[in-house]
Amino acid sequence: MDQGLVKKIKNDDQHQQVLARIGELMSLPFSADAPENDELEVLALLAAEYEKEAFFIEAPGPIEAIRFRMDQSGLSQRDLAPLIGSKSKTSEVLSGKRPLTLGMIRSLHRHLGIPLESLIEESQVPLADALTDVDWTRFPVREMVQRGFVTFAGPLNRAAAHAEELVRPFFSNPEGAQAMFCRARPRVGSAVNQASLSVWQNQVFRLAAEESLGVSFDRTNLDDTFLAHLATLSQYQGGPRLAREHLARVGVHLVELAPLKKTFLDGAAMLRANGNPVIALTYRHARVDNFWFTLFHELGHVVLHLGESQPGGAFLDDLDVGAGEDRAEREADDFAVRHLYPAALSEWASRLKTWNDVVVFAGRHLRHPAVIAGRLRHLQGNYKLFGRIMAQQLAEHVTATRGE
């Protein structure tokens, strides 16, 4: 191995030398146990690392992204007219004479799959200032003021009249576009209010931004050992607080935010602009077992889906709505069952008749009794089982979580 080449590449000359050596090695007859194989592998990694830094290619701007998708799909300007508004508007957009409006961006993203990152350039004015075709009155302004999401000095009954000046800056954070466009995969019922979902999602992002984790997210840290320890934290008073600290160590935010009216949410999993996942829980169903199942369900989305099948997106979940044929939701449900509940529970379920039976089994498997009882209720289809006892236990669990 040429030790003079096996070091970090710092300039173009060294890069060319490494490429020349790679060419020499590639021209040798192949042998699986050849000593040159290690050298080839190391040099290829060094070259790739240098090229990633030296030859960074910027993401395409809106016009380039649109034209690329047109070429890909064989579309003409006439085909884009229904999405942009008219043939003349399409021509003006593609020639750079007309900026994209919110409606155009939303339509191009939804129907052509063009990434929002390409349609909204950093060099453009901030999103909050660029939005020109938004019906600001559809947002729950009064509730936003009441919940402290925005500040309004006047009488509450006058807040709606100032919708734009209150809501526009609310979405000016780095994740505002994602939330404003509700770029999410919702497991929600038909009665949900989409504007309220956007507000809730963005408030979660804003709360997460207040917490500096100081660590980048690496999905491989969420392995079976990490998840098994996380499940045992349910046994402690204040277990959710311990879970928050445990997740923070591997770059995952855990945020608590009650749902807005007409959102019907239990939890969510989403990605911040910096790549750190955020799990949000609402406590809509005030039960210990619901907290832990929802947490592990959303962790399933983080481990299995966020950044992969749902790049840069979000999962917003009403767990009262069945997973149905949604593969991602079924996978997240299965993930929660597999990692939260002891494997022995299936065998013992029919033998756990009394609350004392549940307490003993839970203690043996390092779980909160309510977690075990919640699973039993689901398996038996009897949601009145142990109901009064489980409700009594919530206060101490949540109070310790919030540090009260």
Q: Are residues 119 and 261 in the same domain?
A: no
Q: Are residues 100 and 201 in the same domain?
A: no
Q: Are residues 242 and 330 in the same domain?
A: yes
Q: How far is CA 286 from the centre of its chain?
A: 23
Q: Are residues 166 and 202 in the same domain?
A: no
Cα–Cα distance list, 196 to 139, 253, 260, 368, 378 (Å): 6, 22, 6, 34, 30
Count CB neighbours of 182 within 10 A: 17
**Tens place of pLDDT for every residue, the chain, 404 residues?**
444 555 677 788 888 887 777 777 666 775 656 666 666 667 777 777 776 666 655 557 888 889 988 888 888 898 888 888 888 889 988 988 888 876 787 778 777 878 766 776 544 445 555 565 678 999 999 999 999 999 999 999 999 999 999 999 998 888 887 787 655 566 666 678 889 999 999 999 999 999 999 899 999 999 999 999 999 999 998 899 999 999 999 999 999 999 999 988 999 999 998 889 999 999 888 889 999 999 999 999 999 998 754 445 689 998 887 777 778 899 999 999 999 999 999 888 888 999 999 999 999 999 999 999 999 998 888 888 887 777 665 555 554 444 33
The token pair at 384 is 């009145």
Q: Are residues 144 and 204 in the same domain?
A: no
Q: Are residues 26 and 96 in the same domain?
A: no
> Do residues 203 and 235 touch, judged by C-beta distance below 8 A?
no
Is 202 within a domain? yes
- pTM equals 0.68
